[in-house]
Amino acid sequence: MATILKSRKPKSSKGFKYKTIIKPIWENIYGYIGKRIKSAVIPSDPGALLDRLDLLFPSNAAGNTGVRNELVGICNELMRQKVMNNTIYKNLMLHII
């Protein structure tokens, strides 16, 4: 009978089998195991960034807190590209937090 995984983290150990076989497979499938956070790649096209903001702000307003880091990253990139000024940036940050 198959067991259902309750988490995405396998049972770990310091053994040879875990270190050389199991851990690399899990990291390849799910990313790093543990407390490391994968960073998102943000496109440099301002139009694509603005389109993504149009999708993420309603999601954040609906209570999805998982999009905050991406929202901040996109706003920072738009500031860097001088598409957004300080006043707009500050107003957006007030709505994100």
**Which of 88, 94, 32 is closest to 68 using CA atoms?**
94
**Which of 30, 7, 96, 92 is closest to 60 using CA atoms?**
96
Whether pTM > 0.85 for this model: the answer is no
User: How many domains are contained in the chain?
Assistant: 1
29 located within any domain:
no
49 vs 78: CA distance, rounded Å: 8
pLDDT for 40-95, tens place per residue? Answer: 677 788 999 999 999 999 998 898 888 888 899 999 999 999 999 999 999 988 88
27 located within any domain:
no
More confident residue, 11 or 25: 25
60 located within any domain:
no
74 located within any domain:
yes
57 located within any domain:
no
Task: Provide the domain limits for residue 76.
Answer: 68-97
22 located within any domain:
no
The position carrying tokens 């983290």 is: 9
Using pLDDT thresholds of 50, 70 and 90, give the confidence band for residue 1: very low
